[in-house]
Amino acid sequence: MEKFSVFKGVAAPMPMVNIDTDMMMPKQFLKTIKRTGLGISVFYDMRYDENEAERPEFILNKTEFRHSKILLAGKNFGCGSSREHAPWGLLDFGFRCVIAPSFADIFYSNCFKNGILCITLPEAQVEALTAQADGSDFSIDLENMKITAPDGTVTQFELDETRRHNLLNGLDDIALTLEHIDKIKAFESKQQTGQPWLYT
């Protein structure tokens, strides 16, 4: 996984609440057996009309937001299905960071597994950032946990240490876990003694 350091990019405002993962990645795109190539399909029904032509009014179709790297969203972002195709689509489009007042649990976890930083901020702070999202660059500094808006104002955010560490260092979760393989085996052996019916 790519290391997450300081980066700059355009932030696209999508202030709707309850944007679900069906909206981000409709079912017909879940049939792929690859992780890549989903950027073109992200937010499909909102982005394209019935004839697959771009809807000019949709935010990501506007010239200044076509290369957005940050998404400023409403409450409960990513609710619904566990499909990781949603964060794969965001990543493939170019998003590295989503800022919202709240996230659905599974989606939140899926994003970090793919190197997408989810930042939770109070609603008023998200709105203040959204007000500045005019196509200018924002800067995200994960090391110091701060967002710099185009006008230079700085917003601090919080993140649990495990996720921050793994993202900053681009660590492979599975490799980290396998360092504890002896503990896993010891757990199994103890569990097998106490609950043998789990091992038949």
Partner 1 sequence: MAQPRTLYDKLWDSHVVHKDEGGASLIYIDLHLTHEVTTPQAYEGLRLSQRKLHRTDKTIAVPDHNVPSTPDRLEKIDDPESRLQLDTLKQNSDDFGVEYIPMDDIRQGIVHIIGPEQGLTQPGKTIVCGDSHTATHGAFGALAFGIGTSDVEHTLATQTLSMQKSKNMLVRVDGKLSVGTTSKDLIMAIIGRIGTAGGTGHVIEYQGEAFSDLSMEGRMTVCNMTIEGGARAGLIAPDEKTFEYVKGKPRAPKSEAWEAAVKYWQTLKTEDGAIFDKEVVINAEDIIPHVTWGTSPEDVLPITSVVPNPDDFDDPNKKSRISRSLKYMGLEAGEALEGVAVDKVFIGSCTNGRIEDLRAAAEVIKGRKVADSVEMLVVPGSGLVKYQAEEEGLDLIFLAAGAQWREPSCSMCLGMNPDILQPGERCASTSNRNFEGRQGRGGRTHLVSPEMAAAAAVTGHLTDVRKVVNS
Contact set with partner 1 (CB under 8 A): 15-18, 20, 22-23, 26-28, 30-35, 45, 50, 74-76, 79-84, 87, 102-106, 109-110, 113-114, 160-165, 172-174, 176-178, 180-181, 183-184, 187-188, 191, 195-200
The minimum distance between CB 98 and partner 1, in angstroms, equals 15
Q: CA of 125: how far to CAs of 97, 122, 128, 133, 160, in Å?
A: 16, 5, 5, 13, 19
Residue among 106 and 145 whose Cβ is closer to partner 1:
106
Closest by CA to 33, choosing from 84, 94, 90, is 84
Of 34 and 144, CB closest to partner 1: 34
Pick from 113, 118, 111: nearest CA to 72: 118
Locate tokens 């989503």: which residue?
98
Closer to partner 1 by Cβ: residue 10 or 108: 108
Burial degree of 59 (CB within 10 A; 0-12, 13-18, 19+): buried
Q: What's the rounded Cα separation, in Å, for the pair 142 and 135?
A: 21
Specify the residue, 3 or 185, whose C-beta has the smaller distance to partner 1. 185
**Measured from the CB atom, is 68 or 110 closer to partner 1?**
110
User: Minimum Å distance from CB 94 to partner 1?
Assistant: 20
Give strand pairing partners of 73.
14
Query: How far is it, in rounded angstroms, from Cα 134 to Cα 90?
Result: 20
